[in-house]
Structure 1
């Protein structure tokens, strides 16, 4: 026990023992400065300096732009930029996919490689038989008349009804002339050929937007118009085009002139195609050619 006490006193004596640190002039040995130190003072002072440098380093890293120079450190701004770039990349991928699909559809329209839908309105009549209404009293009641009158008054100011009517598509004949070749599925002729004099005006069958207006080797000057209700009209072998891609056209407006351009033609005529939801349909089922 006595030895432990002596050992503890010896350690305490060494820690509190005073030392003198003297700074001398090397040439003249003149004393310039002196300090009284102990081992305990040196230890405490060194710990305070280390803690101060550690705190200062933390503040510099946490609250100054110097942290961005540390390898592996990601700033908030860099993470935000990376997130924005990722979002833009995803958007560009979607746009590219949509554009490729759109161009593929246009390419198939020009080549006539899309499935065909031959719609005959008269075929629907044979599927339904009108009921016998001779023994049924069809006179409306007073309450029914009042309700109809009320609904008619409200529909005069219906925004939805006006918007639906504004989107309706009325199709007109694109050209006055004689039909030289009909729509034929067996021969893969998905259009109607209308012969007319060269430079005769070709008109839009309905309101729409021009989505293609270019020259092709096989069908000459081609113009494609996109309409409401998923209709698309195609005009081939034109002599010239009066509209460009992106132009908005009205029903009956002149969009081209009759010509004899392209390799697959034997005379001045209009090769007219009509598409519904990406599938070719017989134009005669929707247009009255006179």
Structure 2
């Protein structure tokens, strides 16, 4: 037994030399000498380091999915499912926003080939126009003011208003509209002449009220229509107030039905006297305000 130990110790302490030679000339390029146990220790250490490094690389990178399979626990799976659900909801919201912006393009460009009442008679129930019915490019024939107004509104985001959601399937006939202002109608709604509004002659600086609750999506000045306010209501309904003397609400403000939002004036190149130019748009179509509101 002692002889075997001495033999093993002698073998481990024996010195070995590792020489690197040139393949063709056999010239010595490098040489390493050391005891046998040095070489064994170094080899084992190198293998251990390589194994540890490979393990960490697999566990810390996506390679683990291919080597050891999915390591998600129940908590991670629930978070992953919730993330997928949020992504799906965001896709639905993005689609709704696209429809919203399409309707705003029709409103701001004044592109409408038929009124809501006419579309009900000619279109199947539940259908909604997504492009200008007359087939025209909504960008053509618009003034710089209208184009600027359109792009400003498109840069904002639609507001999800919970009000009147119960009436979403019954249209707007069941809504209780507030009269934005009291006065004399100087120009009526006329779809054939593309006058999609009623003009109400009033005294200067008469208060203008929101016809329904909603969010202000536009409140600014344009040379042609003066101070303009646009309010987004529930159920894809928009109300427009033009030629105001001033606007007291900012974009993003929530207003109640009947709340004062501006004052009547005579601003803009298209105005010929103190009045309110009032429009209602529902699902991208202009509707006659006098069918729902007593001025």
Q: TM-score range by the shorter chain?
A: 0.5 to 0.7
- Give distance in 2, aligned partners of 1:107 and 1:262: 21
Q: Tell whether 2:271 aligns with 1:262.
A: no
Shift of the 54–35 alpha-carbon distance from structure 1 to 2, 3 Å rule, reads: closer
Equivalent residue, structure 2, for 1:206: 212
In the alignment, which of 37, 59, 62 is matched to residue 55 of structure 2? 62
1:184: Cα distance to partner? Answer: 0.7
- Give distance in 2, aligned partners of 1:280 and 1:171: 16
Aligned length: 205
- Give distance in 2, aligned partners of 1:91 and 1:252: 34
- Give distance in 2, aligned partners of 1:98 and 1:250: 24
Q: Is the 8 A contact 2:212 2:256 kept in 1?
A: yes
**What are the within-5 Å matches in structure 2 for residues 98-113 of structure 1?**
102-103=100-101, 105-113=103-111
Higher helix share: 1
Shift of the 260–48 alpha-carbon distance from structure 1 to 2, 3 Å rule, reads: same
Unaligned runs of 5+ in 1: 1-19, 22-33, 77-82, 124-161
TM-score (norm 2): 0.55
- Give distance in 1, aligned partners of 2:63 and 2:97: 36
Equivalent residue, structure 1, for 2:199: 193
Equivalent residue, structure 2, for 1:175: 181
Equivalent residue, structure 2, for 1:131: none
Equivalent residue, structure 2, for 1:223: 229
Shift of the 48–275 alpha-carbon distance from structure 1 to 2, 3 Å rule, reads: same
- Give distance in 1, aligned partners of 2:278 and 2:55: 71
Deviation string for 1:14-71 (max 9, x for gaps)? xxxxxx99xxxxxxxxxxxx954699xx889856643441222221342389x98xxx
Unaligned runs of 5+ in 2: 1-9, 18-34, 65-79, 122-163
Partner of 2:46, secondary structure, is helix
Q: Tell whether 2:286 aligns with 1:276.
A: no
**What are the within-5 Å matches in structure 2 for residues 1-290 of structure 1?**
35-36=13-14, 46=39, 49-63=42-56, 102-103=100-101, 105-119=103-117, 164=166, 169-289=175-295
Q: Is the 8 A contact 2:202 2:274 kept in 1?
A: yes
TM-score (norm 1): 0.56
